[in-house]
A and B are shown apart, each in its own frame.
Chain A
Amino acid sequence: MSLEPAFVARPHTGLAGVVQSIAKYVKILKVSLVERMAYRGDFLLGTVLRFLPMISSIFLWKAVYEGAQVDSLSGYSYSQVIAYLLLVHISRMFSSMPGLAAGVARDIRDGNLKRYLIQPLDLMAYLLSYRMAHKIAYIATSALPYIGLFGLCWGYFDTIPSFQVFLLWLLSLVLAFFLGFFFELTLGMLGFWMLEISSFLYLVNTLNFFISGHLFPIDLVEPSWLASLFKMLPFQFLAYFPAAVFLGKVPPEQVLPMIGLQLFWIVVFWATARVLWRFGLKRYSAFGG
């Protein structure tokens, strides 16, 4: 119902439009990358600091294994547990989204959301590009310290995974990024209904820390039915699953079905975030901004 077609700049439609809008988000990714690189010193220091707790973990597990006088707990030798914890760091490097949910909720509360309503810009696509840039910058700057650390800790790795397993590991990491993103985004959308979500986020993160296998391998959870339940939940894909694939703890015939499950959860959270966004916007527009 436009008044006069000459009034408005029309975007391309069809394939050209799709190419154009992909170009848009690639550009956002580039600019974000430049912005993130402004903080590379902080990244480097952050990476190093993240490993300090690792040292205490190594001593803790050493004490556990010596105290229990066993060689293996639920199939994990002492060195495998340490290797696992190192690998979980890699998983989290892909799946953790610091400040995403809180940021979305804050944007909703402060009205910064209007940018996505006024400009021809999609919030979810924008944030995804931004986070990708964030991750690329982070992984690029911390690759060197990580390689050094893994070289140092190489003794904890009993076996070297096959090339095929290595590829599956990479795939599960990339999917962990998407799952982490859409999960946090879904949490952030709750900001439409709750003024302050930080206590809620704290609760979720604490729970997540435990059931995603961040603290220790899920296989150690007793009773075993609980461990099986955890393996069906989305959270394990954020930390446990990629590490377990790398260490060969997931039976080969189960790896692909599990990756299917990971994809399923990504779709679930993507759809949930979309639906919440749509309903949230209705509410936002109706109640003020």
Chain B
Amino acid sequence: MSALIQVQNLCRTYKVQEKSPGFLSSVRSLWARKYKTVEAVKNVTFSIEPGEFVGFLGPNGAGKTTTLKMLSGLIYPSSGTATVLGFVPWEREDPFRRSFSLVMGQKNQLWWDLPAADSFELHREVYSLEKTAFKKTLGELTELFGVERLAKQPVRELSLGERMKMELIASLLHQPKVLLLDEPTIGLDVVAQVAIQKCLRDYNEQHGATIMLTSHYMKDVEALCARVLVIAQGELIHDGTLASLAGRFGREKILRLHFEGTAPPSWIGELGEATIEGPVVQMRLDRSVVASAVSRVVAHGRLIDLLVQDPPLEEVITRLYAEGAIQSAAASSKEEAP
């Protein structure tokens, strides 16, 4: 029991109404409703140590948000156990509420028509924070996030990125030990995304807070998380570093070659499928043949530049999701067989 977040065999099923489209079936559903159960989270087990910054990846509907909701005590699990800071989240004890924060990118908690400073002041009261300590934290956070001058403006006048920073500040005022972030950069442009990433990284480093983050932007995860959990179809299919994710699922390398002159040598197609743009060649090769391909090209000489890369993480993840889907489809068809 030394881990900060401990999750064991966590399951969550939903009962959802099943309704075929169309008018007649709508009428029928007035008195005869069919329900089906959906397993949103299946047997998920993991543990997170203090100070870790963990990315939580998965396609839409994979069970990320459901898991975060269980960890923040919003919903009960169907079975399994979880502790956060030693508390069972769904018991919603007061000391637990005071030591974590859940930030959802799509929901705002600041008062729309008031300056953020007023909302912060309200948070101070809600969490019963001592005044001088509060001022110090607020000063540090506004400096860290670079928003000293914006706190006095009504929230509705702020840009989306600025508003998100304010939301984050509000959720950090009581100095939570655990921060659960659900899509904190959703809808933001690249500049704002990078800014938010920097804020989160600095906060994690300076305060040693444990952070779990879900995101659709692989860049967020790449920039921030040393460790990644991947969930697909409710099942945990990967727990490890980002690099190991690529190593485990990326069997290909991307080879980029820039030759002297106007065209690559004619034999280049023999190495594998290549896209050629003038003197620049880009090809995908299986890892096992990369070394021999490179040595052949180098032996040929007349090379200006050579680059060997892993495929983009997005691609790896997409494949991983697809595989996860196939695996669990296979598993469920097995279960159904008599």
A interface list, Cβ under 8 A from B: 1-4, 7-12, 20-21, 23-24, 27-28, 31, 34-35, 38, 111-112, 114-115, 117-121, 284-289
Contacts and interface: CB of A to CB of B under 8 A. Distances in A.
Given A7-B99, A24-B128, A120-B127, A289 B111 contact: no
A24 B129 CA distance: 10
A285 B98 contact: no
A12 to B, nearest CB: 7
A114 B98 contact: no
Given A1-B86, A35-B114, A120-B97, A27 B121 contact: yes
B161 to A, nearest CB: 22
Contacts of B122: 27-28, 31
B87 A2 contact: yes
B74 A11 contact: no
Interface string B91-106: 0101111111110000
Pick the 10 closest A-B CB pairs, nearest first.
A3-B86, A27-B125, A8-B99, A8-B95, A24-B125, A120-B97, A289-B74, A285-B76, A2-B86, A285-B75
Contacts of A3: 1, 4, 83, 85-87
B14 A118 contact: no
Contact of A9 (B102, B114, B124, B174): B174
A120 B107 contact: no
Nearest to A119: B126
A62 to B, nearest CB: 43
B136 interface: no
Contacts of A4: 86
B210 to A, nearest CB: 11
A24 B177 CA distance: 22
6 contacts: A4-B86, A11-B98, A114-B102, A117-B92, A285-B75, A288-B75
Given A31-B111, A285-B74, A8 B85 contact: yes
Contact of A118 (B73, B85, B125): B73
Given A23-B125, A119-B126, A285-B90, A7 B177 contact: yes
A11 B93 CA distance: 12
Contacts of A117: 73-74, 92
A110 B219 CA distance: 29
A114 B100 CA distance: 13
B96 A8 contact: yes
B116 to A, nearest CB: 12
B109 A115 contact: yes
A114 B125 contact: no
B270 interface: no
Nearest to B129: A9
A7 B100 CA distance: 11
B113 interface: yes
A173 to B, nearest CB: 28
Contacts of B90: 285
A20 B128 contact: yes
B204 to A, nearest CB: 17
Contact of A11 (B94, B101, B109, B177): B94
A253 B261 CA distance: 109
A8 to B, nearest CB: 4
Nearest to A115: B109
A82 B124 CA distance: 49
Contact of B121 (A31, A38, A111, A120): A31
A284 B102 CA distance: 18
A233 to B, nearest CB: 33
Given A9-B174, A111-B107, A120-B127, A1 B99 contact: no
Nearest to B16: A288
A4 B96 CA distance: 12
Contacts of A35: 111, 113-114, 118
Contacts of B99: 7-9
Given A3-B1, A8-B95, A286-B75, 4 more contacts: A7-B99, A11-B94, A112-B107, A285-B76
A115 B87 CA distance: 19
A3 B129 CA distance: 22
B177 A8 contact: yes
A38 B118 CA distance: 13
Contacts of B66: 288
B300 interface: no
Given A10-B95, A23-B125, A28-B125, A118 B86 contact: no
A24 B174 CA distance: 15
Contact of A119 (B97, B124, B175, B177): B97
Contacts of B111: 31, 35
Contacts of A114: 72, 74, 102, 107
Interface string B126-165: 1111000000000000000000000000000000000000
Contacts of B253: none
Contacts of B73: 117-118
A38 B157 CA distance: 15
